[in-house]
Structure 1
Amino acid sequence: MVKLADRVEAVTQAALANGALQSIQTVAEVVNEGEISYLIRVLDNLKRKDEARARLKKAASHASNPFLPYEEALYVCELGEHHRCLLNKYNVVDKHLLIVTSRFEPQSDRLNLNDFRALSQVMAEIPGLAFFNGGEQAGASQPHKHLQLVPLPMSPFAETPFSEQLNHVSGEHPQGCEALGFRHCVMQLPSALFEDAAQAGQQLLAAYESLRDALNLADDAPYNLLLTRHWMMMVPRRAERWQSISFNALAFCGAILVRDEEQAAKLKEEGIMRALVSVA
Structure 2
Amino acid sequence: MRMLLGLSESLPSLVTAKYTAAKAAQSLTFSPTELTVVRTSTGVPFQLRYCPSLAKKPAPQKDDAPSTKKRDPFDNPTTLLIANIPIINPSHLLVLNKFPIIAEHFIIATKTNKQQTHVLEQDDLEATYACLRAWQDGEPHSKQKRLFAFFNSGQHSGASQPHRHLQFLPVESMDDGEQSSRWDLLIDLILSSDTASRLLQHPGIPFTHFATRVPAEPTGPQLLNIYNDLYESAKRSVDDFITTNPDSLVVHATGEGALPISYNLAMTTTGMAICPRKSEGSMLRRDDGTDIGFVALNGTALGGTLMVKHQEEWDVLKSQPEKLDSILEAIGIPRTGQAPLRAQV
The alignment's TM-score, normalised by the length of structure 1, stands at: 0.87
Deviation at 1:76, TM superposition (A): 0.6
Q: Secondary structure of 1:136's match?
A: coil
Structure-2 separation of matches of 1:241 and 1:224 = 13
Deviation at 1:128, TM superposition (A): 0.8
Structure-2 separation of matches of 1:167 and 1:158 = 18
Structure-2 separation of matches of 1:166 and 1:58 = 32
- Per the alignment, residue 9 of structure 2 pairs with 2
Residue type matched to 1:169 in 2? S
Q: Secondary structure of 2:12's match?
A: helix
The answer to whether structure 1 residue 182 and structure 2 residue 207 are counterparts is: yes
- Per the alignment, residue 79 of structure 2 pairs with 73
Deviation per residue, 1:20-47 (Å, 9 max, x gap)? 0211121111112342111000015xxx
- Per the alignment, residue 23 of structure 2 pairs with 16
Cα 1:117–1:59 shift into 2, 3 Å: farther
- Per the alignment, residue 131 of structure 2 pairs with 122
Deviation at 1:55, TM superposition (A): 3.4
The alignment's TM-score, normalised by the length of structure 2, stands at: 0.71
Q: How many residues align?
A: 267
Residue type matched to 1:263 in 2? E
- Provide structure 2 residue ranges, at least 5 long, that are not aligned to the other structure: 1-7, 64-68, 136-145, 237-250, 252-258, 284-293, 333-345
Q: Secondary structure of 1:137's match?
A: coil
Structure-1 separation of matches of 2:82 and 2:198 = 34
- Per the alignment, residue 93 of structure 2 pairs with 84
Cα 1:60–1:2 shift into 2, 3 Å: farther
Structure-2 separation of matches of 1:55 and 1:124 = 34
Instruction: Name which one, 1 or 2, has greater alpha-carbon Rg.
Output: 2
- Per the alignment, residue 290 of structure 2 pairs with none
- Per the alignment, residue 196 of structure 1 pairs with none
Q: Where do residues 1-280 of structure 1 align in structure 2 (5 Å cutoff)?
A: 1-33=8-40, 34-44=42-52, 49=53, 52-55=54-57, 57=59, 63-70=70-77, 72-80=78-86, 81-126=90-135, 127-153=146-172, 154-155=174-175, 156=180, 160-163=184-187, 165-169=189-193, 173-190=198-215, 192-193=216-217, 199-216=218-235, 219-243=259-283, 244-267=294-317, 269=320, 271-280=323-332
Are the equivalent residues in 2 in contact too, given 1:225–1:235 (CA < 8 A)? Answer: yes
Q: Secondary structure of 2:35's match?
A: strand
Are the equivalent residues in 2 in contact too, given 1:116–1:202 (CA < 8 A)? Answer: no
Deviation at 1:58, TM superposition (A): 5.1
Alignment root-mean-square deviation, CA: 2.4
Cα 1:187–1:159 shift into 2, 3 Å: farther
Deviation at 1:185, TM superposition (A): 0.8
Structure-2 separation of matches of 1:10 and 1:97 = 13
Q: Percent same amino acid at aligned positions? A: 25
Deviation at 1:53, TM superposition (A): 2.9
Structure-2 separation of matches of 1:56 and 1:76 = 26
Cα 1:110–1:164 shift into 2, 3 Å: closer
Cα 1:27–1:144 shift into 2, 3 Å: same
Are the equivalent residues in 1 in contact too, given 2:187–2:266 (CA < 8 A)? Answer: no
Q: Secondary structure of 2:28's match?
A: coil
Cα 1:163–1:118 shift into 2, 3 Å: closer
Structure-2 separation of matches of 1:186 and 1:58 = 31
Structure-2 separation of matches of 1:133 and 1:208 = 14
- Provide structure 1 residue ranges, at least 5 long, that are not aligned to the other structure: 194-198
Deviation per residue, 1:43-64 (Å, 9 max, x gap)? 15xxxx2xx3343625988722
Are the equivalent residues in 1 in contact too, given 2:189–2:202 (CA < 8 A)? Answer: yes
Deviation per residue, 1:185-207 (Å, 9 max, x gap)? 112222x33xxxxx443322111
